[in-house]
Amino acid sequence: MKVRNALRTAIIGMAALAAPLVSGSAVLAQSYPDKPITLIVPYDPGGSLDTAARLMGEKLVETIGQPVIIENIGGAAGAVDTRKLGEADPDGYTIGMGNPSTHTTSYALGKDLPYNPMEDFVPISVFATNYTAIAARPGLGITTMTDLVSYAKNHPGELTYGSSGVGTSPHMLGELLNDVEGIDLLHVPYQGGAAALTALLGDHVDLVFGTLSSFLPQAESGKLNILAVLDSTAYAGPPEIPSAEANLPNYKTRSSWIGIFGPAGMDPDVVAAISSAIEDATHDPDVAKALAERGLVVRDSSPEEAQSFVDTDLQFWTELAKSSGLSLSQ
């Protein structure tokens, strides 16, 4: 059943119904689009995918001349709504947000998903790098990765970390840290990154592995400490945040990302048109600035480049799972 209340579904840009197509976009077929487009977000409102979806949706309205309906249904680390996207009619009127947790990490771990991420979808665009980071509650007194490892070794089994769910990239990165540093952080899964962050702010967990974009506003107000970004390079900021690898060279990590997918079988011309509209949106100065303020780094990708990117991401997580022995039972 589709939820249609103010908290879970938003219709963006009704006033832009008459807006013409932006001239810089690929020319859409005359028959498309002729009705609203649903953009599925496979997590509850408030997380980084939801924020990015609403920013993109507002701008897409100007490009396509139709309302964009944001639909949130959280649960099962994003699997519920992602399955719904895979089962949708491939007519271009239902598209969805995706990230490593929905399309690569769970699959790499052999999780029993209700869809096949490599067969049931077509990548339309991977439009942003979303740095994964690790944050600590201020009362813990830990401000660096070196501090964290030292504390964890002196207090084995005492520290807890939250993530957006079992089999997600934050979960895998937490378990990888345990493995390469010989520590024992206890995993506490939540139904989405927003719930995990809320748990940290309420002192229910000591640490959270999640998206930098969701941590930055809380860090500015002193409600958490960001220890590092989990990438080979530092976050340029503001504020500048070091990479975990700079202090822990054996801890090889990979940033998260945000993409838009459609159900398999979509008309390639429609896929290309939507991809072009997304690129136009991310090149808008206001959208790019808003994404940057949330820790998201804009990137361009054609549908073909998006497919190659997702394939490479899956290879990284598959090799990580095999080499470290990570599994869903951990």
Q: For the domain that residue 52 is a member of, what is the CATH number? A: 3.40.190.150
**25-39, 78-92, 105-119: the lowest-pLDDT one:** 25-39
Q: Are 259 and 185 in contact (CB under 8 A)?
A: no
Q: Which of 254, 269, 301 corresponds to the end of one domain?
A: 254
Q: 150 in a domain, yes or no?
A: yes
Are 27 and 86 in a shared domain? yes
Model confidence over 63-83: pLDDT tens digits?
888 999 999 876 666 777 788
18 pLDDT tier (thresholds 50, 70, 90): very low
Measuring CA to CA, which residue among 235, 217, 246 is closest to residue 129? 235
Q: Please give the tally of structural domains in the chain.
A: 2
Are 159 and 268 in a shared domain? no
Are 171 and 276 in a shared domain? no
158 pLDDT tier (thresholds 50, 70, 90): very high
pLDDT the model gives residue 76: 63
Instruction: Name the strands in the sheet holding 256-263, side by side, starting at the edge strand that comes first in the sequence.
Output: 9-12, 68-72, 37-41, 94-98, 256-263, 121-130, 296-298
Are 169 and 214 in a shared domain? yes
Are 233 and 291 in a shared domain? no
| Domain range enclosing 97 | 9-129+255-321
Let me know if 15 is exposed, middle or buried by CB neighbors in 10 A (0-12, 13-18, 19+). Answer: exposed
CATH code of 172's domain = 3.40.190.10
pTM of the model: 0.76
Handedness of CA 69, 74, 78, 82 (dihedral sign): negative
Q: 329 in a domain, yes or no?
A: no
Q: Which of 224, 254, 284 corresponds to the end of one domain?
A: 254
Q: Above pLDDT 70, what percent of the chain?
A: 88
Spatial distance between the Cα atoms of 127 and 291, rounded to a whole number of angstroms: 11
Are 293 and 311 in a shared domain? yes
Q: Which of 225, 254, 283 corresponds to the end of one domain?
A: 254
- Report, as an integer, the average pLDDT of 199-217: 94
Q: 21 in a domain, yes or no?
A: yes
Are 117 and 139 in a shared domain? no
